[in-house]
Amino acid sequence: MDKRCLRYGILSLLLLSVGLFPATGSAAPQGRYTVLIDAAHGGGEPGVVSEKIREKDLTLGLALLIRQEAQKTGNIQVQLTRSADKEMAVAERIKAIEAQKPDCVLSLHVNAGFGKKAAGYEVYFPGFRQTAAGGAESAAIIKDMAVNRHLNDSVRLAQPIQAALETVFPRKGRGLRDAPSPLLEGVSLPGLVVEVAFLTQPDEKKKLTNAETQKAIARALVKGLREYFQSTP
């Protein structure tokens, strides 16, 4: 057996093990869980802006609503990276994640497109680094797989989150996407980036600024979280 076959054999076994072994997250005992909600942007970083409507305000408002909605579950506690209009560097947000040690992270964003036709919600999860794909030696592959051992849980979290958002934005899902995230790359726990909708699309902008729709988005995300935790081994 040559080195290439050995490398791919090891990689295949490791990929299989991700699905076979129980999740290794920091799930709290007795079915109680902590979720960290990251409201993107803040302070001098407004994010997407459309007719004076700012992404940073929308993400913070949704984060606060999610925390309020989660209190009704009795077993999901929500922490926030920011609870006010405060500018935070990625490094500060990562420190908040490391300090809280949550069971998972949702980073909330609002999307923008070139023109007014782009619409829908997107769910991103951090993927494998390129080390293994580049044909590294087996030791590097094992190290890479260890760093990314929570990929399977992130994908599993993405599925109910996507399904829940479908109830608010029917037929607007743009799929689950594997993409790097500066916020999530440095932490070892399940996490997603959720682009809720496009602020540059007129109909979605109306929804994003509607109080009832905001509450519906918060309920949907909490529902997705509950389904994820219910399926956690």
CA nearest neighbour of 196 among 35, 25, 33, 37: 37
Q: For residues 138 and 149, what is the distance between their CA atoms, to the nearest angstrom?
A: 16
Q: Is residue 32 part of a domain?
A: yes
Q: Is residue 11 part of a domain?
A: no
Q: Is residue 174 part of a domain?
A: yes
The token pair at 228 is: 């994820």
What average pLDDT does this structure show over 95-117? 93
Q: Is residue 56 part of a domain?
A: yes
* 25 dihedral zone (left: phi>0; alpha: psi -120 to 50; beta): beta
Lowest mean pLDDT among 16-25, 68-77, 104-113, 166-175: 16-25
Give the number of domains in the chain: 1
Contacts of residue 113, Cβ cutoff 8 Å, sequence gap at least 6: 119, 198, 200, 201
Q: pLDDT tens digits, residue range 47-64?
A: 999 999 999 999 999 999
Q: Is residue 165 part of a domain?
A: yes
Q: pLDDT tens digits, residue range 108-145?
A: 999 998 888 899 999 998 765 443 444 445 555 555 55
Q: Is residue 140 part of a domain?
A: no
Q: pLDDT tens digits, residue range 146-179?
A: 455 678 888 899 999 999 999 999 999 998 888 8
Which CATH number covers residue 109?
3.40.630.40
Q: Are 62 and 218 in contact (CB under 8 A)?
A: yes
Contacts of residue 85, Cβ cutoff 8 Å, sequence gap at least 6: 42, 43, 56, 57, 60
- Residue 159 belongs to what domain range? 27-131+149-230
Q: Is residue 137 part of a domain?
A: no
What average pLDDT does this structure show over 77-101? 95
The token pair at 198 is: 């496009």
Q: For residues 25 and 28, what is the distance between their CA atoms, to the nearest angstrom?
A: 9
In this prediction, residue 226 carries a pLDDT of 97
Q: For residues 90 and 72, what is the distance between their CA atoms, to the nearest angstrom?
A: 30
Q: Is residue 166 part of a domain?
A: yes
